[in-house]
A and B are shown apart, each in its own frame.
Chain A
Amino acid sequence: MMLNEMQLMELPQRGGEECGQKNDEASQLPQEPGRRSFLGVLGFVGAAAAAAAFGIPLIRYVAYPLSAAAASAEKKWIDLGPLEDFATTGVPVQKMVSIERLDGWQKTDTQQAVYVTHDAQGSVAVLSAVCPHLGCSVGWHAEDAKFVCPCHGGCFAANGERLSGPPPRGLNSLPVKTAGGRLLVNCQPASKPGTSA
C-alpha cells in the first residue's frame, strides 16, 4: 500500500485524475489539498528565503572586485619633468612611470611606458603605449617616424593619430596638466574596454 503513490508517478498519466487523492490513507499527507499546498508553499518560500539570505551576499562577495568600492579611487598625478624638456615637437619622448596600484589585498608597483609628444594643435600631450587594438605595447620607430605595434602592425603618427592597420582609433591620450612649470600626467584614468594594460 505504501508504494502506491510512488508507483502512480511511474504510470502514464491518465487525464484528469489527480494521483494524490487516490491513496491518502497510505501516505501521511494531510488529507486536504489546501493544507498540503500550504506546506508546499511554505517550503518553497522557506527555500527562497534561504537562497536569498545566502545567495545575495554570496553574489556580492564574488563580484566584489568588479565594484567601484574595490577600484582605487585616487587619481595620481605623476611628475614627468620640467616642461622645457618636452619643447621639441615631432619626436615623442618615452618616459617610464612607476605607478602604485592596489592589486587586491596588496599594493604593487607597476611600470608603465608613456610617450610625451605634441598633438595636432601643437600643445603637449601624453600618449599611452598600450595599443587600442588588443593591448600590446607600441614602440616608436624613429627611422619611419611613426609608432608601430608589433602585434598586428597598427601604425600611428607622432601625435598618436591612427595611420593604418586594425586599431580602431589612435593612441589613447592621457589627462595632463602643468603645475609649477612641470608636466603632470594622470596614469589611472577609468579603463576603456579592450585597452586595459
Chain B
Amino acid sequence: MKMTVQPNRKAERILQWMEERTGVRTFLVRVLNEPIPGGPRWAYVFGSGLLLLLVTQLITGVALALYYVPAANSAHTTVAYITKLVSGGSFIRSVHAYGSRMIVVLLIAHLGQTFLYGAFKGRREILWLSGVCLFLMMMGMAFTGYLLPWDQRSYFATAVGTNVMGQAPLVGTLMKRLLRGGEEMGTLTLSRFYVLHVIVIPLGIVAFVALHMVLFRKAGPAGPPQADAVEPRLAEKPFYPRQLAMDVAFAGILLVILVALAHFAPVGLGPEADPSSTQYIPRPEWYFLPMFQWLKYWEGPRAVIGIIVAPTIVLLLFALVPFLDRGSERRARKRLLATGAFAVVLGGLVLLGLLSKRDDRRNPGITRQLARQEEEARRYMSQPFQPVLAAPAAAIPVSGQAKAGQAVFEAHQCTICHGDGGVGTKLAPRLIGISSQLSPDEMTALIKSPNAKMKGGGMPAFKGTDEDLRNLVTYVQSLR
C-alpha cells in the first residue's frame, strides 16, 4: 500500500520486471480482490487465524526439532534440555503447546461459524469435506505431538489412545500395532509418531489447505446467511483492504495471547515415562476429555458401540453435512433441525468434559493422586537439567586378565554403584579413565582398604583372592 504521494519509478520498474516474468502482480490482484458478498465481516476471520497458527506451529516446530531427539532414551532428556537450558527454549515450546490448543479452539469456531451460516451450501460439498479432512488431520497432529515429550502423561495418554483405536472391529488390532510399531509402546512408537507429526501429516495439511483455498475461491465466499448460497446477489466488496485488515487484527490478537500465555504461564514437563507405574492416573488434554468421559459409560460387549460405532456415526454425520442439510435456506433460526443437532453435539461434548472434571473432583483418591502428580511435575521442573551419560567411546580390546577382572567386577556387585563398565551412577563416581589418576598400586591399596570418603559412600573393603584383586585392578585400569 503506497503511502507516498510521489510514485516511486524505480520500484515500479522492478515490479513490472517481476510481473512480466512471474505474473506476481496479477496473482496478488486476483488473490486480494476476492469479492465478498455483503462485504467483510469479523465472523470470517477464523479461517485465516488458523492459517496464522499453522505458520507459528511450523516455525516453532522446526525450532524444537533442532534439539529434540525422538528415541525412548533421549526424548525426555532433550525436551528437558530445551525447557530448562536452551535460551528461549521454554518460550518456544510453550508457544508450540499453546498454539496447538488454540488451533483446536479456532477449529471449533471456524466450523461452527461455517455450519451456522450455512456456508457449506451452494455447491460447496467438496470444500466442506476438505475442511473435515483438515479437522481430522489437525486432531492427528495434536495426538501425535502429545507423545513426543515422553513424560508420564504423554506416555499413558497415548497408551490409552492407541488402545481405544485397537477396539475398532476388524482393523483395530492391526491399526494399533502399526501405530505402536509393535504390541507394546516403545521407541518405535516414538519414531512413528514423530515421522507422522513432522512430515506425513503436515504434507497432507499443506495439500488440503491448498485444495481448501482453491475450492473456496472457486465457489466464492458465501456471505451472510440471508444471501443465497449459489447466487448471493448482494453488493460485493473486495477482500482487500478491509477484510485483510480484520484478519490481520485478529491475527494480532492471537499472537498477543500466545506470547502472553507462553511468557507468563510456560508449559512444564513431568518426570520421565515409567511404564511400570501402577499409581499414575492419566488424563488427556481438554479437547479429548469428552471422549475420555464417554468411554466410562460403555463396558463389556456393548463397549464397541460406545467406543467405535457412536463416534464414527457422529463423524460421518459431520462429514456428510452438505448432503444432509441440502435446502437452500441458510439462516440458522430457520434450520432448526441442523442448528439443534449442532447444539446437542457441541453441548454434549462440553457436558461430557465438565462431567469428567466433576467425577475427578468428587473422588478424593483421584484428587489426591492428581495433586501428587502435579507436585511431582513441579518438583521435576524445579530441578536443574541433568545431562545423560552417553555410551563410552569405542571399546578397546580387553586382555585376558582384564576380562577376568571384569568378571570379578560384576561378581562383587561393583556395577550397582559404579555402573555397568564403570560409567558411574549417583551412588559412586565414574571409573572410566581413572587410570590417569591412580596407579595400579594405588588402586590396589584403595580397593583393599577404602579411604574415609569411599567408606562414607558405602564402598566395602575387597574380600577375595590376590589374583582376583590383580585382575580386577587390571580391568579397572583398562577402562577408557
A residues neighboring B (CB under 8 Å): 2-3, 6, 9-10, 13-20, 27-29, 36-37, 39-40, 43, 46, 50, 53-54, 56-58, 60-64, 67, 69-70, 78-82, 95-100, 102-111
Q: Which of B33, B241, B392 contacts A29 (CB 8 A)?
A: B241
Q: Which of B245, B387, B392, B436 contacts A105 (CB 8 A)?
A: B387
Q: List 26 A-B contacts (CB under 8 A).
A: A6-B32, A15-B7, A18-B7, A19-B2, A27-B241, A28-B39, A28-B40, A40-B3, A50-B252, A54-B59, A57-B87, A57-B91, A61-B89, A64-B86, A80-B436, A98-B480, A103-B390, A105-B67, A105-B387, A106-B387, A106-B388, A106-B390, A107-B388, A107-B389, A107-B390, A109-B432
Chain B residues whose C-beta falls within 8 Å of the C-beta of A110 in the assembled complex: 393
Chain B residues whose C-beta falls within 8 Å of the C-beta of A109 in the assembled complex: 390, 392-393, 432-433, 480
Chain A residues whose C-beta falls within 8 Å of the C-beta of B280 in the assembled complex: none
Interface stretch, picked from B73-81, B119-127, B198-206, B268-276, is: B73-81
Digitize B1-45: 1 where CB-to-A-CB distance is under 8 Å, 0 elsewhere. Answer: 111011101001000000000000110010011010001100000
Q: Say whether B92 contacts A58, CB under 8 Å.
A: yes
Q: Say whether A50 contacts B480, CB under 8 Å.
A: no
Q: Say whether B77 contacts A105, CB under 8 Å.
A: yes
Q: Which residue of B lies closest to A58 (CB)?
A: B63
A117 to chain B, nearest CB (A): 18
B residues neighboring A (CB under 8 Å): 1-3, 5-7, 9, 12, 25-26, 29, 32-33, 35, 39-40, 56, 59, 63, 66-67, 69, 74, 77-78, 80-81, 85-89, 91-92, 95, 236-238, 241-242, 245, 248, 252, 255, 259, 385, 387-390, 392-393, 430, 432-433, 436-437, 439, 480
A52 to chain B, nearest CB (A): 10
Q: Say whether B29 contacts A111, CB under 8 Å.
A: no
Q: Which of A16, A50, A61, A97 contacts B63 (CB 8 A)?
A: A61
Chain A residues whose C-beta falls within 8 Å of the C-beta of B85 in the assembled complex: 64, 69-70, 105
Distance A70 CA – B86 CA, assembled complex (angstroms): 8
Known: A53-B255, A60-B88, A103-B390. 9 other contacts (CB 8 A): A10-B29, A13-B9, A13-B12, A57-B92, A64-B87, A81-B436, A97-B433, A97-B436, A106-B77
Q: Which of A54, A60, A79 contacts B437 (CB 8 A)?
A: A79
Chain B residues whose C-beta falls within 8 Å of the C-beta of A78 in the assembled complex: 436
B474 to chain A, nearest CB (A): 17
Chain B residues whose C-beta falls within 8 Å of the C-beta of A82 in the assembled complex: 439
Give the A-B contact count at a CB cut-off of 8 A. 139
Q: Which of B6, B29, B242 contacts A28 (CB 8 A)?
A: B242
Contact A2 B63, CB 8 Å, known A29-B241, A79-B436, A105-B77 = no
Distance A106 CA – B63 CA, assembled complex (angstroms): 19
Q: Say whether B238 contacts A27, CB under 8 Å.
A: yes
Distance A81 CA – B441 CA, assembled complex (angstroms): 13
Distance A45 CA – B1 CA, assembled complex (angstroms): 15
Chain B residues whose C-beta falls within 8 Å of the C-beta of A2 in the assembled complex: 33, 35, 236-238
Q: Which residue of A lies closest to B9 (CB)?
A: A13
Q: Say whether B87 contacts A60, CB under 8 Å.
A: yes
Chain A residues whose C-beta falls within 8 Å of the C-beta of B388 in the assembled complex: 105-107
Q: Say whether B33 contacts A6, CB under 8 Å.
A: yes
Chain B residues whose C-beta falls within 8 Å of the C-beta of A36 in the assembled complex: 1
Chain B residues whose C-beta falls within 8 Å of the C-beta of A97 in the assembled complex: 433, 436
Q: Say whether A61 contacts B87, CB under 8 Å.
A: yes
Q: Say whether B78 contacts A105, CB under 8 Å.
A: yes
B137 to chain A, nearest CB (A): 24
Q: Say whether A98 contacts B436, CB under 8 Å.
A: yes
A123 to chain B, nearest CB (A): 21
Distance A67 CA – B86 CA, assembled complex (angstroms): 10
Distance A62 CA – B67 CA, assembled complex (angstroms): 9
Chain B residues whose C-beta falls within 8 Å of the C-beta of A79 in the assembled complex: 436-437
Q: Say whether A106 contacts B29, CB under 8 Å.
A: no
Distance A20 CA – B39 CA, assembled complex (angstroms): 20
A155 to chain B, nearest CB (A): 29
Chain A residues whose C-beta falls within 8 Å of the C-beta of B393 in the assembled complex: 108-111
A-B residue pairs, 3 tightest by C-beta: A98-B433, A57-B88, A105-B81
Chain B residues whose C-beta falls within 8 Å of the C-beta of A104 in the assembled complex: 67, 81
Q: Say whether A39 contacts B245, CB under 8 Å.
A: yes
Distance A117 CA – B91 CA, assembled complex (angstroms): 51
Distance A10 CA – B29 CA, assembled complex (angstroms): 9
Q: Say whether A108 contacts B390, CB under 8 Å.
A: yes
Q: Which residue of B lies closest to A182 (CB)?
A: B437
Q: Say whether B437 contacts A13, CB under 8 Å.
A: no
Q: Say whether B436 contacts A50, CB under 8 Å.
A: no
Q: Which of A10, A50, A95, A111 contacts B255 (CB 8 A)?
A: A50
Chain B residues whose C-beta falls within 8 Å of the C-beta of A102 in the assembled complex: 387
Q: Which of B39, B387, B436 contacts A107 (CB 8 A)?
A: B387
